Structure 1
Amino acid sequence: MNRPVGREFDNALLVEADRNSFLHPFTQITDHRANGALVMASAKGCRITDATGREFIDAAAGLWCVNVGYGREEISEAIAAQSRLLPYFHTFNGVGNEPGIRLAEKLLSLAPAGMKRVFYGSSGSDANDTAVKLLWHYNICRGKPNKRKIISRNYAYHGVSVASGSLSGIPMVHEHFGLPLDFVRHVSRPDLYRDAPERQCHTEEAYSAWLADELDRMIVAEGPDTVAGFVAEPVMGTGGVLPPPRGYFEALQQVLDRHDVHLISDEVITGYGRTGTWFASEPSGMRPDIVLTAKGVTSGYLPLSAVFVGEKVWSAIEDASRDGRVFAHGFTYSGHPTCAAAALANIDIIEREGLVDRVADIAPIFRDVITAAVGDLPLVGDIRTAGFMMGVELVADRTSKARLPAGAKPAGRVALAARRHGVLVRGLPNSDIIALSPPFIVTEEELGIIASGLKRAIEEVTQELRSEGAM
C-alpha cells in the first residue's frame, strides 16, 4: 500500500468525519450523506491510492491539472525550501519576491505573442474575474466606460465565483444562484457533433462562418459601444471537450476587430502543454489580448493562477497611471512566493523532460488506444481529442445521435463503474460526456489499462440502461 512513512488511515473514521464536517464542491449532498466520500491518501506517477489501499490510475490528472504526475520530489523540495526562506509575503504597493519575479519573466518567455505583464491569483475563477476587471479598467482608462459587457458561450466553463460563474455557460452553475449577472451574454458553443448539422453547415468552415455571424449579430444588437470582450477556451473543456472547427477563431477575430471587442483566451486547462504546445491560443488561430492560466502552472501542487496582459491593454493602463490612479485590484495571495517556487520547479520538469513534445507524440496513441477499445460500443456516439484532452459522448442510438433520458446520468454512472475497475475518469456536469485528461507522463501500458477499465465500465452501464429501458 502506497502510504507515506508513519501514516496510517482509518478509512471508516475519515469517511464519517468527512460526512459530518465537509461541504464538498459539485457534490449532491444527499448522495454524499448516504454513500460517503472516496478518501485519497497518497499518489505517485499516474497512480493514486485511497485510504483503504485501493489503487487507481488517474486518467483525469485530478481536475485537468496534475500534468507532471504525482510525487515529484523536485516540486516538494522547492516548496519546502521556499517555505523555510520566505513562506509568504504580499505583493501590494510594489513589493516583490524573488520566485514571483523569476516566474513572471519565465512565463512571458513562453507566452503567446504580445503578452507584456503577468498578474497572479490563486485559481482559474479569480483569473477570469481579473480579466473582466482588466477590460473594464482598460475601457475606463481610454474614455469608454460603457464598454462593459462580456460575451461568453453556452456550456463554457470559466469558474464559479460571481463574475466567472456568470461567464460560465453551464446551467447547473447558474440555477439556484441567480446567475448570470447582467453584464454577460452567451452565444452558441462550437459543437460539430451536435449542432453543425442542425445549422445546415456542410463544412467546418461554413459552420465557423455561421457562428461568427451569430456573434456579429449579438454585438450589433447589444451595441458595440457596450461590449468589452469575448471570452473563450481554445478547446472547450468541461463543456464537452470541443476542439474548434476549422477557421473558427479566425472568423471570430474579424468580428471582434470590426467592433473593437477584445479577446480573452481562457487557457486554464490548455496552458502549459495539454494540447501538445505550450499554449493553445496561437495554434487555434486566436490573437488574444488577455490570456488566463492556472492548473498546469504548478501541476496542481499549490494553487496559482497567472493572467497574461497583452500590449494593447497594458499600454492603456500604463499610460493612464500617469495621472496618479492605482490599479486597485489584487488578492492576499497574489504572487505568493511558495506557490511561485512550485511553478518554477514544475516548469523546469516540463522543459527538462520534453513533456510538451511528448504530449504531441503520444496523443495519437492515446486517441487510437481508447478509440479501439470503446469506439464501436453501442453507447458511444462520438470521440474527440485535442492532445491529452478527450471527450467520449454517450448516446441512446449511434445512428440518430438520440440522447439518453435526462435522468439516466450515464457519464456519472460510467465514472463510478470505472472506479471499480481501477480507473478515474470524469463525467462532465449536465452532460452525457466522459472526459479523459491523463498526466503527461502516462505510459502506453497505463493507457491500455485505462482503455480496458473504461470499456468494462461502459459495457456494465449499457446493460443497466437496457434493463431500465433507456436504450
Structure 2
Amino acid sequence: MTKMNVLPNSPEARDVAYHFHGYTNAAAHEDKGPMIIDRGEGIYVYDTSGKRYIEALSGLWCCAVGFNEPRLAKVAAAQMAKLPFYHNFGHKSHEPAIDLAEKLISMAPVEMSKVFYTNSGSEANDTVLKMIWYRSNALGQPNKKKVIARQRGYHGVTIASGSLTGLPNNHRSFDLPIDRVLHTTCPHYWKDGHDGETEEEFASRCANDLETLIQAEGPDTIAAFFAEPVMGAGGVVVPPKTYWKKIQEVLNKHDILLVADEVICGFGRTGHMFGSETYGMRPDVMVMSKQLTSGYVPFSAFLVNERFYAPVAQESGQIGVLGHGFTGGSHPLGSVIALENLSIIEERGLVQNASDTGSYFRGHLATLLDHPLVGEVRGVGMIAAVELVNDKASKSVTGPIGHLGGIMNAALQKHGVISRNLGDAIAFCPPMITTPQQADDLFAIIKLALNDVTQAVNAS
C-alpha cells in the first residue's frame, strides 16, 4: 500500500503498489513515489501535470534525435505491418538486420569483420566476455581468461557486465565482481593526479599501473581490457592527454584485446561518430547501444574484427553450433529504427552539432569554475559534468558522498531540468539536436539551481 498523499488509484499510487524500479531506493520510493512522464517533444519531456522539462541526460544518454522524431515512428509502423518479429537463429535472417550490419561495418573507424546483435549494452558486454572465453579456448589458451576494466567504469548490470563495472553500489550485496574480472586505475586527472604531476605524467602512471597489474597476474592470463572512451556513469571522466596511446602500447605488448564500450560515446556524442575516433583508439571490439536507436526500442550490437571473429567461427565449426544468442537479437523493429536514426544523424549534421553546440555549452559551464561550490567542469562534445565540492582546496566534499549532488539534482528538477547526479558530479548529455538557444536556456537553469544549493549549504 502506498504511503503517499495521492489518490488511491492514481498512476503514482499504482506505480508504488506494483512497479519495482531500477537504480532507485526501493524503501524510499514507497514514501516518495514517482514522477510520471507523459510525453516528449524535441529535447523536452512533460509530466502528467503538464510541466515541461529539458531532458538534459537524453533519458539515460539515449535520445540523440529527441523524444518525438516522426521518421522513427513511421519506419517502426511500416515494419510492424510487414514483419513485426523474426530472429537470426539456425541460418535465418532478414533484410533490416543485414542492412544495418553492413551500415555499421562501413561506419566503423577501424576495420571490423562482423556484427552480433543483442538487446542492451549490458547484454552486449556480457556476450563479449563469453565470446572472449570461447575464443581463448579456441586458440588453445585455457588460462587466458582474465579481463581488466577500470575503477568507476560502467559496462552494465548483468552478472558479468556488472562485474566489469567498477562502481561499489553495483557490487554491494550482489556478490560481485566474479572472478577473472580485475580493475585498474580510473583516469581522472583532476581528482587523482598528484601535486605537480602533468596530465601526460598521470597518463604514464595509469599505464604503469596497468602494466604492474598485468605482470602481477601473469601476462598469459589476461585476455582483454574493457573501457569506455569517455567514462559515463562513473562521472563523465575525460581521459588525460596521451592516455589512450600509452594504454594501447601496454595492451599491444602483451597481445591483449581492446574492447571499446561505445554505448554512451557512440554515434556522435563526443563530437566524432565514435569516441574511438576522438581518442585514436584501435579496438578489436566495439560495443554500441543507446544512441543507436535513440533509445526508441531496446537494441544493441557489437562489432568484432577478424582477429576476434575467426577463432570463434572455427570453434563453432568444431562444436557444431555457436551456443549463444537472444530471441530479440537482430529484431527487425530495432534494425529499421537504427538505420533511420543513423540516417537522421548523418543528414542533419548532428555529430557536428554535438561538437559545435557542445563546445558552446561547455564554454558556459566553464564560467562556473569561480563558484565556491564548483570544483571541476569537464567534458567533450555534447557530454559534460560539473563536480560540486565544499572544500575546493582538497577537491572533496565533507559529508556523505552525493549529498551536494542530490540537492543540485532536486533543484534542477524544480526549475525544469532533468539530469542525474553521479555522486557529487552533475552530468549533462542533452539530445544532439540541442540548439545554442536551448543550451542558453539550460545554462540559465543550472545557475538558478546552483544558487539554490548555495543557499541550502549556507543555511545548514
Asked if these proteins are the same fold (TM beyond 0.5), I'd say yes
Instruction: Give, as a single letter, the amino acid of the residue that structure 2 aligns with 1:29.
Output: A
Aligned residue identity for 1:418: L
Q: What does the per-residue CA deviation read over 1:343-373, in whole Å, with 9 as the maximum and x for residues that have no partner?
A: 111111111111111112222111112333x
2:420 is equivalent to residue 426 of structure 1: yes
CA-CA distance at 1:310 after TM superposition? 1.2
RMSD over aligned Cα atoms: 1.5
Q: Quote the Cα distance in structure 1 between the aligned partners of 2:241 and 2:208.
A: 15
For 1:267 and 1:52, the matched residues in 2 are separated by: 36
> Are 2:122 and 1:121 aligned?
no
Q: Distance in 2 between matches of 1:301 and 1:437?
A: 17
Structure 2: any 5+ residue segments left out of the alignment? 1-6
Residue 449 in structure 1 maps to residue 441 in structure 2: yes
Using the TM superposition, name which of 322-331 and 220-229 deviates more.
Answer: 322-331
Residue in 2 that maps onto 1:261 = 256
Q: Contact 1:11–1:39 (CA<8 Å) still a contact in 2?
A: no
Question: Which amino acid in the other structure matches residue 56 of structure 1?
Answer: Y
Match of 2:3 in 1: none
Worse-matched range after superposition: 402-411 or 202-211 = 402-411
Instruction: Go from structure 1 to structure 2 and tell me whether the alpha carbon gap of 1:399 and 1:173 turns closer, same or farther (over 3 Å shift).
Output: same
For the pair 1:414 / 2:390, whether they are aligned, the reply is no
Q: For 1:295 and 1:422, how far apart are their aligned partners in 2?
A: 24
Partner of 1:467: 459
Residue 247 of structure 1 contacts residue 285 of structure 1 at CA under 8 Å; is this kept in 2?
no
Deviation at residue 320 of structure 1 after TM alignment:
3.7
Taking the aligned partners of 1:446 and 1:12, their CA distance within structure 2 comes to 37
Q: Which residue of 1 is the match for residue 395 of structure 2?
A: 401
CA–CA separation in structure 2 for the residues paired with 1:445 and 1:11:
41
What residue identity is the alignment partner of 2:453? V
User: 1:284 and 1:201, CA in 2 relative to 1: closer, same or farther beyond 3 A?
Assistant: farther
State how far apart, in whole Å, the 1-side matches of 2:16 and 2:319 are: 52
Q: Distance in 2 between matches of 1:466 and 1:189?
A: 33
Alignment of 1:129-144 (within 5 A): 129-144=126-141
- Rounded to whole Å, the distance in 2 between the matches of 1:409 and 1:127 is 33
- Matching of residue 60 in structure 1 with residue 54 in structure 2: no
**Match runs of 1:320-469 below 5 Å:** 320-372=315-367, 374-406=368-400, 409-428=403-422, 431-468=423-460
Output the CA distance in 2 between the equivalents of 1:201 and 1:327.
52
Letter of the structure 2 residue corresponding to residue 158 of structure 1? H
Name 2:171's counterpart in structure 1. 174
| Letter matched to residue 398 of structure 2 | L
Contact 1:45 1:69 in 2 (8 A): yes
Superposed counterparts of 1:167-316, under 5 Å: 167-197=164-194, 202-316=197-311
Q: Is the 8 Å Cα contact of residues 271 and 278 (structure 2) preserved in structure 1?
A: no
TM-score of the two chains, using structure 2 as the length reference: 0.96
Aligned with 2:190: secondary structure?
Answer: coil
* 1:322 Cα deviation after fit: 4.2
Equivalents in 1 of 2:311, 2:26: separation in Å? 47
Among candidates 157, 174, 178, match of residue 160 of structure 1: 157
Q: Is the 8 A contact 2:365 2:386 kept in 1?
A: no
Q: Measure the CA separation in 2 of the matches of 1:344 and 1:135.
A: 28
Partner-residue secondary structure (3-state), 1:461: helix
1: CA distance between counterparts of 2:308 and 2:326? Answer: 20
Q: Distance in 2 between matches of 1:219 and 1:110?
A: 32
The alignment partner of 1:93 has SS state of coil
Deviates more, 1:258-267 or 1:399-408: 399-408
Structure 1 counterpart of 2:372, which letter?
A: P
Secondary structure at 2:137's aligned position in 1? helix
1:186-242 deviation digits (Å, cap 9, x = unpaired): 111001111012xx5622111111111111111111111211111000001111111
Name 1:4's counterpart in structure 2.
Answer: none
| Mapped partners of 1:323, 1:131: distance in 2 | 20
SS in 1 for 2:191: coil
Contact 2:402 2:421 in 1 (8 A): no
Deviation at 1:317, TM superposition (A): 2.1
What number of residue pairs does the alignment pair up?
A: 454
Q: Which moved more, 1:232-241 or 1:456-465?
A: 456-465
Is contact 1:415–1:434 with CA below 8 Å preserved after alignment? yes
The TM-score with structure 1 as length reference comes to 0.94
Supply the AA of the counterpart residue of 2:313.
Answer: E
CA contact (8 A) 1:11 1:52 kept: no
The runs of at least 4 aligned residues of structure 1 exceeding 6 Å deviation read none
Q: Deviations over 1:89-133 (max 9, x none)?
A: 111111101111101101111112121110011101001101101
What letter matches 1:266 in structure 2?
Answer: D
Instruction: Compute the displacement of 1:404 (Å).
Output: 3.1
Are the structure 2 counterparts of residues 215 and 407 from structure 1 closer, same or farther at C-alpha, using a change threshold of 3 Å?
closer
Contact 2:44 2:54 in 1 (8 A): yes
1:414, 1:176 → 2: CA distance? 28
Aligned mates of 1:171, 1:320 — CA distance in 2: 36
Residue 7 of structure 1 aligns with which residue? none
Structure 2 residue aligned with 1:83: 80
**Identity percentage of aligned residues:** 41
